[in-house]
C-alpha cells in the first residue's frame, strides 16, 4: 500500500466547523481523498479497480450506491470495476480487504481504496439511531437512546465492577489525554486545535451522568462525530512499478485477519474484546511475528474503554491490567508501544466508514517516515505496524500487519 491521503476530520473541535452552515457533502470528501491518492500514483489511468467503504450514507446522507462515486473522482475511472463495502465502523477495512483480495487474486495490480462518512448531517440524538444500525435492530428497543455509547458504557461498567471504577478511569483518562496530545500534532485531526491546558483535570471534572448521557462514560470517553474520507492505493509489486513508487515509499501487508462474530449474540464477556483477540492472534500468526515486534498500532478506540480492552486483547496486559498499562503511559507516543499516534478515533476523529482506511494511511505514514510532527520512532528491530478496525460491538474485525516495503 502507498500514496495515502486523509481529508480533514470535520466536526466539533475544528474552527471552521459550523453546524448551522451548509457544509461539504459526501462527494466532496470522496473526491478530495481519491484525488489525493491519484496524484501520488501517476493518475487514474494506473488504477485497475476501486473499492469504497462506507457505513450509513443511506441514512446520514440519504445516499446509497457509493461505488458510483469512484468514477466521479476522476473520469479515467469510468467503466472500471468498483465495489462498496459495509461492515459498520469496519467498512473502511473491508474496502481494504476487498482491494487486497483483488490484488492477491491477480485480477488487479492497483486498487484505489477510499473510506468515507459524512455524519454531521443530523443532531447527535438522531445520529445515534443511525449508528445503532451497527447492532442488532431487535436489541434497539431496549437499548440506550445513545445506543453505542450505551453498549460500551455497559462494558465499562462490567470492567469497573470487576477491577474498580477509580482504577479503571485512571487508565481511560490517560487514554483521552494521549489521544488529544497526539491529535495536536496532526493538522487533519479534529482535535488539532484543542488548546485545553489541563486535559486530565477536564476529564476528572466530567463524572459520568446517566441522566444526561450514559451511566459509565462521559463524552470525553467517546470518539468524535466526524465528516471525512481517506484513500490509499493497494498495489502488487507490478503495480508499484507501474505507478513509479519505490518500495521504501510503500508498506507491505505481512498478515491480515478478517473475523466475524454473530451479531445476534451478546458479547461472551463484556470485559473482553473477543473478536479482536482472535483477529490479532491470526494476523500475528500469518505475519510470523509477536506483539514485541510492533513499533506502533492503530486501534479502534471508539470509546476509551475499547482502547483499554484492546491493549488486553493484543496481549500487552493481562485481563484487568490494561487500565494500569495505559495509565503508566505505555501507549503514549514515547511509551513502550505508541498507539494511535495521530489521536485515534477520540482525537483524530471517527468518520465511521472512513476509519479503517485512515488507520492504514496513518501506519503507512509512520512506517515510511511521513508523519510530520506526529512521527514516532520506528526501531530497526521492531519494524512492524498494525491496524485493528472494529465494526459494531466487537462484531466485524479486520486486523492487518504492515512493514515498510523495502525490508
Partner 1 sequence: MNYEEKLQNVTVLGAAGKMGSGILLLTAVEMADLSLKSENKGKTFCLNAMDVSQEGLAGLMKYLKDQVMKLAEKKTVVLRHTYRERADLIENEDIIREYVFDVMNIVRPVTTVESAYNSSLIFEAVIENLDLKKKLLSQINENNPHMPWFFSNTSSIPIHVLDNAAKLDGRILGFHFYNPPAVQRLVELITTPNNSTEMIEFAKNYARNLKKVVVLSNDFAGFIGNGHFMRDALHGIHEAERLAKEVPFAEAVYMMNKVSQDFLIRPMGIFQLIDYVGIDVVQFIMKVMNPYLKDEDLHSDLLDKMMNMGVKGGQRSDGSQKDGFLKYERNKPVGVYNPVTNSYVDIAEFQVKCDEKLGGLPDSWKPWKIVNFSKDKKESMLISYFNELKAGKTLGAELAKKYHIRSKEIGNKLVSDKVANNKEDVNTVMLTGFFHAYGPVNEYMS
| C-beta closer to partner 1: residue 122 or 286 | 122
| C-beta closer to partner 1: residue 137 or 407 | 137
| C-beta closer to partner 1: residue 28 or 136 | 136
> Residue 129 Cβ, how far from partner 1 at the closest point, in Å?
4
The 3-state secondary structure of the chain, one letter per residue = CEEEEECCCECCCCCCCCCCCCCCCHHHHHHHHHHHHHHHCCCHHHCCEEEEECCCHHHHCCCCCHHHHHHHHCHHHCCCCEEEECECECHHHHHHHHHHHHHHCCCCCEEEEEEEEECCCCCHHHHHHHHHHHCCHHHCCCCCCCHHHHHHHHHHHHHHHHHCHHHHHHHHHHHHHHHHHHHCCCCCCCCCCCCCCCHHHHHHCCCCCCCCCCCCCCHHHECCCCEEEEEEEEECHHHHHHHCCCHHHCEEEEEEEEEECCCCCCCCCCCCCHHHHHHHHHHHHHHCCCHHHEEEEECCCCEHHHHHHHHHHHCCCCCCCHHHHHHCCCCCCCCCCCECCCCHHHHCCCCHHHHHHHHHHHHHHHHCCCCHHHCCCCCCCCCEEEEEEEECCCCEEEEEEEEECCC
> Residue 205 Cβ, how far from partner 1 at the closest point, in Å?
11
| C-beta closer to partner 1: residue 20 or 141 | 141
Phi, psi of 330 (to 5 degrees): -65, -25
| C-beta closer to partner 1: residue 68 or 210 | 210
> Residue 363 Cβ, how far from partner 1 at the closest point, in Å?
36
User: What does the binding site for partner 1 look like in residue numbers (CB under 8 A)?
Assistant: 123, 125-126, 128-129, 132, 137, 140-141, 144-146, 210-213
| C-beta closer to partner 1: residue 214 or 399 | 214
Phi, psi of 35 (to 5 degrees): -65, -35
> Residue 130 Cβ, how far from partner 1 at the closest point, in Å?
9
> Residue 116 Cβ, how far from partner 1 at the closest point, in Å?
24
> Residue 140 Cβ, how far from partner 1 at the closest point, in Å?
5
| C-beta closer to partner 1: residue 105 or 125 | 125
> Residue 208 Cβ, how far from partner 1 at the closest point, in Å?
13
| C-beta closer to partner 1: residue 126 or 407 | 126
Which residue in the block uniquely carries the three cell numbers 452552515? Answer: 21
> Residue 148 Cβ, how far from partner 1 at the closest point, in Å?
13
Amino acid at each position: 500500500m502507498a500514496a495515502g491521503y486523509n481529508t480533514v476530520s470535520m466536526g466539533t473541535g475544528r474552527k471552521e466547523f459550523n453546524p448551522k452552515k451548509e457544509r461539504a457533502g459526501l462527494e466532496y470528501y470522496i473526491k478530495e481523498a481519491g484525488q489525493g491518492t491519484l496524484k501520488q500514483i501517476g493518475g487514474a489511468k494506473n488504477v485497475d479497480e476501486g473499492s469504497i467503504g462506507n457505513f450509513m450514507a443511506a441514512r446520514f446522507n440519504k445516499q446509497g450506491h457509493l461505488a458510483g462515486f469512484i468514477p466521479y473522482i476522476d473520469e479515467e475511472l469510468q467503466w472500471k470495476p468498483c465495489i462498496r463495502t459495509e461492515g459498520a465502523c469496519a467498512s473502511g477495512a473491508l474496502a481494504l480487504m476487498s482491494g487486497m483480495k483483488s490484488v492477491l487474486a491477480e485480477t488487479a495490480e492497483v486498487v484505489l481504496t477510499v473510506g468515507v462518512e459524512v455524519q454531521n448531517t443530523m443532531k447527535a440524538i438522531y445520529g445515534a439511531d443511525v449508528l445503532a444500525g451497527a447492532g442488532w435492530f431487535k436489541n434497539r428497543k431496549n437499548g440506550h437512546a445513545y445506543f453505542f455509547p450505551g453498549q460500551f458504557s455497559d462494558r465499562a461498567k462490567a470492567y469497573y465492577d470487576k477491577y474498580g471504577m477509580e482504577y479503571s478511569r485512571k487508565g481511560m483518562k490517560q487514554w483521552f489525554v494521549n489521544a488529544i496530545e497526539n491529535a495536536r500534532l496532526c493538522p487533519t485531526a479534529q482535535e488539532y486545535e484543542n488548546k485545553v491546558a489541563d486535559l486530565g483535570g477536564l476529564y476528572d471534572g466530567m463524572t459520568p451522568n446517566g441522566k444526561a448521557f450514559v451511566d459509565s462514560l462521559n463524552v470525553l470517553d467517546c470518539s468524535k462525530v466526524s465528516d471525512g474520507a481517506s484513500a490509499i492505493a493497494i498495489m502488487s509489486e507490478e503495480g508499484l512499478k507501474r505507478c513509479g513508487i519505490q518500495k521504501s515509499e510503500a508498506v507491505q501487508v505481512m498478515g491480515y485477519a478478517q473475523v466475524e462474530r454473530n451479531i445476534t449474540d451478546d458479547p461472551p464477556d463484556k470485559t473482553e474484546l473477543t473478536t479482536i483477540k482472535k483477529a490479532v492472534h491470526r494476523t500475528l500468526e500469518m505475519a510470523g511475528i509477536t506483539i514485541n515486534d510492533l513499533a506502533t498500532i492503530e486501534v479502534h478506540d471508539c470509546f476509551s474503554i475499547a482502547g483499554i480492552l484492546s491493549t488486553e486483547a493484543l496481549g500487552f496486559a493481562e485481563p484487568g491490567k490494561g487500565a494500569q498499562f495505559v495509565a503508566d503511559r505505555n501507549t503514549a507516543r514515547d511509551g513502550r508501544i505508541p498507539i494511535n499516534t495521530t489521536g485515534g478515533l477520540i482525537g483524530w476523529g471517527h468518520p465511521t466508514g472512513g476509519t479503517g482506511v485512515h488507520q492504514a494511511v496513518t501506519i503507512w505514514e509512520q512506517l515510511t517516515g511521513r508523519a510530520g510532527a506526529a512521527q514516532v520512532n520506528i526501531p530497526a528491530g521492531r519494524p512492524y505496524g498494525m491496524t485493528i478496525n472494529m465494526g459494531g460491538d466487537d462484531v466485524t474485525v479486520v486486523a492487518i500487519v504492515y512493514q515498510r516495503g523495502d525490508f
